[in-house]
Amino acid sequence: MSEKITFIGFGEAASAIVSGWGPSRHEVFTYDIKLDDPSTRGEIVDRCSKFGVWPCDTPQEALQDADLVLSTVTADQATEAARAASPFLKAGQVWLDLNSCAPSSKVKSAGLIEAAGGQYVDVAVMAPVYPKLNRVPLLVAGPHADEIAPRLAGLPMSPRVVPGDIGAASSIKMIRSIMVKGLEALTAECTLAAVAAGVQDEVFASLLKSHPGTDWPAQTFYNFERSMVHGARRAAEMEEVARTLQDLGLPSDMVTSTVKWQRKLAAADVPAPENARQINPETIAHALLPHIRSS
């Protein structure tokens, strides 16, 4: 069944989901803050044209008559996006918050949406959107989750309801990210140090003996690529992870260090690798070292 769908924010996640649905399956609109800036407007307009999406100049225009609203902005802008959109929501419109935020941030956004008459759903995206596109695994939580999950499945998407209030899905995502994004930071710190000391072959051989189930060169390549391309967004997410831990009364030392590493790798003026078979981790490390040492 065709739905009128609005994306607030039309970056990688939104475009991947839409591309998975294919052309003309749904009527899709978007408002992205980059449309307000002449220097970035063309980027969003071109992306919309590629995927058959209607760009809107205001949140009000984008939200008009939308059946489902998917918020896919950066983690630090998620609550602000809810605040900006709330005056234009109609009673019963569904706001799906796919952003990587702390549970407390999602509760705050939910308050804005529900006060405007909307139905807020906590959604956690549990894997990279490529290559799964619209079939990327989603966790959904909150009072409307059971009602909305079948609609998402029909789009099609791949939701799974988790028990609990708003923030339950986000808690799973945030706490898992301590390990996933933290391993990326550890990979960078270990590999760069090994290459700088000229002992990378011995280090990787030792790691392979300790953890024989992991292809360390391939995993290292993948972790570097994720941080070099998406480090800024990952850093914003990890700041929400730190907030999650603080809300739980726990220290966030590892998470804070992960934020710094993700930012360093994203800020390095080095093109991200594209093919693990052509570029090994040592090559990436040599390219990054001058930038990391000076940062």
Of 34, 173, 181, 264, which is the active-site residue? 173
**Residue with the two structure tokens 């590629």:** 50
Residue 196: strand pairing partners: none
Q: In what order do the strands lie in the sheet with 27-31?
A: 54-55, 27-31, 4-8, 68-71, 94-97, 119-125, 137-141, 158-161
Closest by CA to 32, choosing from 64, 5, 9, is 9
Token duo for residue 16: 């991947």
Closest by CA to 146, choosing from 158, 161, 159, is 161
Q: Are 174 and 241 in contact (CB under 8 A)?
A: yes
**Residue with the two structure tokens 């093919």:** 275
Provide the residue type at 239 as one letter.
E
> Would residue 173 show up in a list of annotated catalytic residues for this protein?
yes
Cα angle 236-232-186, degrees, rounded to a multiple of 5: 90
C-alpha to C-alpha distance for 63 and 58, rounded to whole angstroms: 9
Q: Compute the radius of gyration of the chain from its Cα atoms.
A: 20
Catalytic residues: 173
